[in-house]
Chain A
């Protein structure tokens, strides 16, 4: 039989509902759900209460980046929250919002109703993506604003100590905190897109909901493994860590930008694949329950291809782990010099500059018995510095725990009056010793010359 169906336009033909109207409809549906309302409320209230509460405690979450500075400045709070959010909150939020955007229509059996009303799967897709994006932005903004308000209200608008020990003025800290949250949006969007893809591909199955947290968990595990730098940077989860580079001077922009670019590429590709699967779906098929095998070929393989491509692109010009002896020494010496100045100020000693200190570090891994590179808690550094008019150089010892992602914790090992005790005696009483323990960051790429 030959078809004689024609596509001639008739006067009565109506257009599809504009995206703006569909977007409003999708927002109404999302906001009417109690779990979304609860999430919005929680994101705008809980972080503030958490940060304010923790800031009042005597014990700080020093195992979390910037946690040890929560007594010192209100700007540490939103960064502690960002570290927590990147691990747990953001994957779960994207899961609840994006992972259910399409599956919910399958569960409710409302696809045909929606298609008859809107008449354009393309516009439905666009509206759903925009509505999901809006809600995710509101949730992320809530986490950032609430934690910042909580920190500032409970501790105040003080300077923030960066990851290389240098002091950021409150306004500079505010700007960088904002940038850090904006940077974390990129991997959040990548997870949201993966949630969308799962939601489209898996139909009414709840597996779609689990996809963002599972992918996030996988990426976190990958970041803990001693993977080559190229692989680490090619995963979208790296951008949840690379914002750390904003808090050094100069900022480590290359890993940050690569992380953001990779995340956005994942977000765009996963969204495009979800759209492709969605537009190919036959909505008259009552037995539809996910794209099945096609989901694998259309949904997963291109993402694997993107990762392979990114790894290849980044692999040029990077060493395997990114953590070398020279970089560790440079990072420790820089952070020590900055923090020494802070301690000097606390103790009301004559001010010195980093240039005068001429701090240097000699670091070895496994007492020199192993390769002098890579992550591990067996790094030991001897820091040497000079004071104007003092002929003898000062030395201090640190034990370092360096993570695969380049972050390290330096634990002072003496002498006691420099870095061997957690308090220093000042004229106004005991104060936390900035040289006792500090966080630092080894840039995995060779792009920033540190001073």
Chain B
């Protein structure tokens, strides 16, 4: 039995009639890792998450979840929890009743199942006895996460968990996911929010038209990426502009500001060329106040890889 991996998928294929939703997908998620799943709409993310949750079986390929073969529908091993396409909640029940009913379904006493603990963990203690009907999207997301936590998961599968979350809610959810990962739970998160994934995930898998176009650490993704646009704010914009123009591999893309108003300079470069520019700025006595990608590396890679895919089609 594989004790290292929460998920091991090899050559997973899933079709709906003539439509190939997943085409030979490989995926590895180690325990204690938060793994991001990204892709454009229709890339097969929800289908893949459905397979992980046991909602469907692959037509071909090999899928191992928590060390157990998952060959049949609804045969996911104990310890798998999560949601796809939004959390499933019953609006006529309160938050506490939703969780208590779920605990009862799993044969646990609602009083000892830790309902209050998980409600506290996701910050819903104050509204525990309110009907879910009145909950905002963010509160529903948090309650959906609480429902998953109630089962003490060893593999947590979440589809767009940050939808509708305010910054405080997002921080709370990130905290919960990081703690779970630290405790050894494998977490698979699908999201369109690249900033979320960058903040949470150590590895990502990018799907496009049912195939994996990238899978690996975020750092590797950045290294494999094309040139990126960076916003550079310095103590001497004029000098910075001059130095950028003279650095090999660096192109000035958009001079949005003028030396007088101190606006940022936008340059396009790969990481080594950017390192050169920073070195030259510092040695020239120009202080670098801000250096950030205009578009996150993940988003840039996502766009590049998926657009490539679309073009190839």
In the complex, the answer to whether A8 meets B55 with C-beta atoms within 8 Å is no
Asked if B66 lies at the interface with its beta carbon under 8 angstroms from chain A, I say yes
Q: Across the interface, which residues of A come within 8 angstroms of B97, CB to CB?
A: 28, 32
Task: Report the nearest A residue to B87, measured CB to CB.
Answer: A113
In whole angstroms, what is the CA distance A120 to B105 when docked? Answer: 12
Task: Give the contact stretch, choosing among B72-80, B226-234, B274-282.
Answer: B72-80
Other-chain contact of B104, A25, A110, A113, A282 (Cβ < 8 Å):
A25
Other-chain contact of B50, A28, A109, A114, A284 (Cβ < 8 Å):
A284
Q: Quote the shortest CB–CB distance from A284 to chain B (angstroms).
A: 4
Given contacts A13-B78, A284-B50, contact A4 B62 (CB under 8 A): yes
- State how many residues of chain A have any CB contact under 8 Å with chain B: 45
- State how many residues of chain B have any CB contact under 8 Å with chain A: 56
Given contacts A113-B83, A284-B56, contact A33 B92 (CB under 8 A): yes
In whole angstroms, what is the CA distance A33 to B57 when docked? Answer: 34
Q: Across the interface, which residues of A come within 8 angstroms of B66, CB to CB?
A: 10, 12
Other-chain contact of A21, B51, B77, B83, B105 (Cβ < 8 Å):
B105
Most buried by B among A11, A112, A283: A112
Task: Report the nearest B residue to A127, measured CB to CB.
Answer: B105
Most buried by A among B67, B74, B147: B74
Most buried by B among A7, A18, A32, A282: A32
In the complex, the answer to whether B68 meets A10 with C-beta atoms within 8 Å is yes
Other-chain contact of B105, A3, A12, A25 (Cβ < 8 Å):
A25
Asked if A422 lies at the interface with its beta carbon under 8 angstroms from chain B, I say no
Asked if B53 lies at the interface with its beta carbon under 8 angstroms from chain A, I say yes
Task: Report the nearest A residue to B157, measured CB to CB.
Answer: A116
In the complex, the answer to whether A116 meets B77 with C-beta atoms within 8 Å is no
In the complex, the answer to whether A114 meets B88 with C-beta atoms within 8 Å is yes
Asked if A286 lies at the interface with its beta carbon under 8 angstroms from chain B, I say yes
In the complex, the answer to whether B79 meets A5 with C-beta atoms within 8 Å is no
Q: Across the interface, which residues of A come within 8 angstroms of B59, CB to CB?
A: 3
In whole angstroms, what is the CA distance A50 to B102 when docked? Answer: 41
Q: Across the interface, which residues of A come within 8 angstroms of B84, CB to CB?
A: 112
Other-chain contact of B101, A5, A25, A116 (Cβ < 8 Å):
A25
CB interface residues, A 1-27, toward B, < 8 Å:
1-14, 16-18, 21-22, 24-25
Other-chain contact of B53, A8, A29, A116 (Cβ < 8 Å):
A116
Q: Across the interface, which residues of A come within 8 angstroms of B53, CB to CB?
A: 112, 116
In whole angstroms, what is the CA distance A4 to B67 when docked? Answer: 16
Asked if B162 lies at the interface with its beta carbon under 8 angstroms from chain A, I say no
Asked if B262 lies at the interface with its beta carbon under 8 angstroms from chain A, I say no
In whole angstroms, what is the CA distance A10 to B65 when docked? Answer: 10
Given contacts A2-B60, A110-B90, contact A12 B101 (CB under 8 A): no
Task: Report the nearest A residue to B68, measured CB to CB.
Answer: A10
Asked if B27 lies at the interface with its beta carbon under 8 angstroms from chain A, I say no
Q: Across the interface, which residues of B come within 8 angstroms of A32, CB to CB?
A: 90, 92-93, 97
CB interface residues, B 88-146, toward A, < 8 Å:
88-93, 97, 101-102, 104-107, 144
Task: Report the nearest A residue to B81, measured CB to CB.
Answer: A116
In the complex, the answer to whether B67 meets A12 with C-beta atoms within 8 Å is yes
Q: Quote the shortest CB–CB distance from B49 to chain A (angstroms).
A: 9
In whole angstroms, what is the CA distance A84 to B47 when docked? Answer: 50
Shortest 3 CB-CB contacts between residues of A and residues of B = A113-B88, A10-B68, A14-B78
A-B contact pairs, 16 of them (CB 8 A): A1-B24, A7-B69, A7-B71, A7-B75, A12-B67, A12-B68, A13-B77, A14-B77, A16-B74, A28-B104, A32-B97, A108-B89, A110-B90, A112-B53, A112-B83, A284-B55
